[in-house]
């Protein structure tokens, strides 16, 4: 079998250590090793954004990041964004505005939107649409996703 490499990363606030094949993608480490299946795989070519997570606070497509690149860094996934008792405003807004249907793109969409609002707390419609350009949704036509991001922005985003 292929040689493995040790990695250690803080995932959703908790230090996680693993031996991984060097070719392991961050998304596969999260899903297959850590059981964080909220991060999805939709395309293999970094187009769809279903695998979007935060790496040191920056939204990245975890299908295009090797797990070893997360070594020593902080990763936040959809599971770490809010909790059942205290949802992130974006999570609440996606439900309130019907910004999801099948829900498959939703975790990546919310993670991308969260970083967008960190950078730009009150984006225009156009800025939202361009900010989410890297995340594909086949169900909603994006209309209600934009409404959700606007609603969350209006409430102010918790850090």
Nearer to other proteins, 74 or 96 (CB): 96
Shortest distance (Å) from residue 31 CB to other proteins:
8
**Residues 129, 142: contact at Cβ < 8 Å?**
yes
Per DSSP, 25 falls in state B
Shortest distance (Å) from residue 150 CB to other proteins:
10
DSSP string, the chain: ----EEEEEEETTEEEEEEE-TT-BHHHIIIIIS--TTS----SSS-S-TTEEEETTEEEETTSSBGGGGTTSEEE-HHHH--SSS--HHHHHHHHTT--SS-SSHHHHHHHHHHHHHH-SS--HHHHHHHTTT---SSSTTHHHHHHHHHHHHH----
Shortest distance (Å) from residue 132 CB to other proteins:
5
- Contacts with other proteins, residue ranges (CB under 8 A): 1, 21, 23, 31-32, 35-45, 47-48, 50, 77-79, 82-84, 87, 91-92, 94-96, 98, 100-107, 110, 125, 128-130, 132-146
Nearer to other proteins, 1 or 159 (CB): 1
Nearer to other proteins, 10 or 104 (CB): 104
Nearer to other proteins, 72 or 143 (CB): 143
Q: How far apart are CA 138 and CA 76, in angstroms?
A: 25
Shortest distance (Å) from residue 73 CB to other proteins:
20
Shortest distance (Å) from residue 67 CB to other proteins:
13
Nearer to other proteins, 72 or 157 (CB): 157
């Amino acid at each position: 079998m292929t040689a493995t490499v040790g990695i250690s990363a803080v995932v959703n606030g908790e230090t996680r250590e693993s031996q991984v094949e060097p070719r392991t993608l961050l998304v596969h480490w999260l899903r297959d090793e850590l059981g964080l299946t909220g991060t999805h795989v939709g395309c293999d070519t970094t187009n769809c954004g279903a695998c979007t997570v935060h790496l040191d606070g920056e939204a990245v497509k975890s299908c295009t990041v090797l797990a070893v690149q997360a070594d020593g860094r902080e990763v936040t996934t959809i599971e770490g964004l809010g909790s059942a008792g205290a949802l992130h405003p974006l999570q609440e807004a996606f439900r309130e505005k019907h910004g999801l249907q099948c829900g498959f793109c939703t975790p990546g969409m919310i993670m991308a939107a969260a970083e967008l609002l960190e950078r730009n707390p009150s984006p225009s419609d156009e800025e939202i649409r361009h900010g989410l350009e890297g995340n594909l949704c086949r169900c909603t036509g994006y209309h209600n996703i934009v409404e959700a991001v606007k609603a969350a922005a209006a409430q102010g985003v918790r850090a």
